[in-house]
Amino acid sequence: MEMIALALAGLLLVGWFLGQPWLREQRRRRWRAQPFPAAWRRILRRRVPLVRRLPAYLQLQLKQRIQVFLAEVPFIGCDGLVVTDEMRVTVAAQASLLLLNRPQAAFTELRQVLLYPGAFVVDRVRPAGGGVQHDDRRVLAGESWSQGQVLLSWHDALMGAADPDDGHNVVIHEFAHQLDQITGAANGAPPLAGRLHYQRWSQVLGAAFDRLRQQLAAGEPTLFDAYGATEPAEFFAVATEVFFEQPQRLAAEHPALYAELRGYYQVDPAGW
């Protein structure tokens, strides 16, 4: 009898695990079906002007994505910040742009958003070789952790949303890192369709990354922020900012890169 009870318990546990994706999708379907709150609509109009450019069907998708995001992801105020719906909706709207037109796409590792009033300080220990370590102190506007946290300065998140044409958006940047970190440490290649896609991605983004570094070394002006030249993971995040905020320039100056990002994100912001 004990063996039978253990076997039944095992089957129930397996059934519970197998049912989780189905239950999660049922919850998300209910959240998407709810009316989008009028107060949230006013926040989008006031704080996230990029939304007005989207075709009507993408605006609807975005609102549904926002509803799911805010139902699933807790926001934690840091340094005394009291989190409001204005903050939550403004951040969720910018992050959800990265998931449009991709029904299966999600920030699967995201557990919470930590929101600071402004730039925040992060202390780290950095190995310097020979067993020596240095303490690094950095002032940041945002950071994405592979453990499932995104840290954001509310001031910078607000300013990034207010100007949708400058190519700088800390929320888009950090949530691009979240996509990159789905399979582990960020390396500039989020989960893609297959081996051939990874090869093309590596060739196109690698060439654009090398070109950026060459331009900076020569003192030439660049479309991308210089921070994108530090490593491939940062280049992917910086390029994603430009893709959504300066798509016409990106398509004109880097057509292969634009095409690769358009294929990945499944949207064409140059036509909005």
* Predicted confidence (pLDDT) at residue 213 exceeds the cutoff of 70: yes
pLDDT of 195: 87
Domain boundaries along the sequence of the chain? 16-125+134-184, 187-272
Helices (H), the chain: 2-33, 38-47, 56-72, 85-96, 154-162, 170-180, 195-217, 232-245, 247-253, 255-265
The pLDDT > 70 percentage for the chain reads 88
What is residue 125's three-state secondary structure? strand
* Predicted confidence (pLDDT) at residue 19 exceeds the cutoff of 80: no
266 in Cβ contact with 103 (< 8 Å): no
* Predicted confidence (pLDDT) at residue 204 exceeds the cutoff of 60: yes
pLDDT of 16: 45
The CATH fold assigned to 16-125+134-184 is Cyclin A; domain 1 (1.10.472)
Question: How many alpha carbons lie under 13 Å from residue 10 in its C-beta half-sphere?
Answer: 6
227/11 Cα distance (integer angstroms): 51
CA distances to 3, 75, 136, 147, 219 from 72, rounded to whole Å, are 38, 10, 33, 16, 45
* Predicted confidence (pLDDT) at residue 15 exceeds the cutoff of 60: no
On the question of a common fold for 16-125+134-184 and 187-272, the answer reads no
Smallest Cα–Cα separation from 115: which of 145, 151, 158, 147?
151
The residues, ordered by sequence, that sit 6+ positions from 142 with a Cβ below 8 Å of its Cβ are 150, 151, 152, 153, 156, 157, 170, 171, 173, 174
* Predicted confidence (pLDDT) at residue 98 exceeds the cutoff of 90: yes
Confidence of residue 21 (pLDDT cuts 50, 70, 90): confident
Taking residues 104-119, what's their average pLDDT?
96
pLDDT of 17: 46
pLDDT of 124: 65
Taking residues 90-105, what's their average pLDDT?
97
Taking domain 187-272, whether its CATH number is 3.40.390.10 is answered by yes
Taking residues 242-246, what's their average pLDDT?
98
Confidence of residue 24 (pLDDT cuts 50, 70, 90): confident
Q: pLDDT tens digits, residue range 126-149?
A: 655 555 555 577 899 999 999 999
* Predicted confidence (pLDDT) at residue 37 exceeds the cutoff of 70: yes
pLDDT of 193: 87
* Predicted confidence (pLDDT) at residue 198 exceeds the cutoff of 90: yes
pLDDT of 2: 56
Q: Compute the chain's Rg from CA coordinates.
A: 21
104 in Cβ contact with 141 (< 8 Å): no
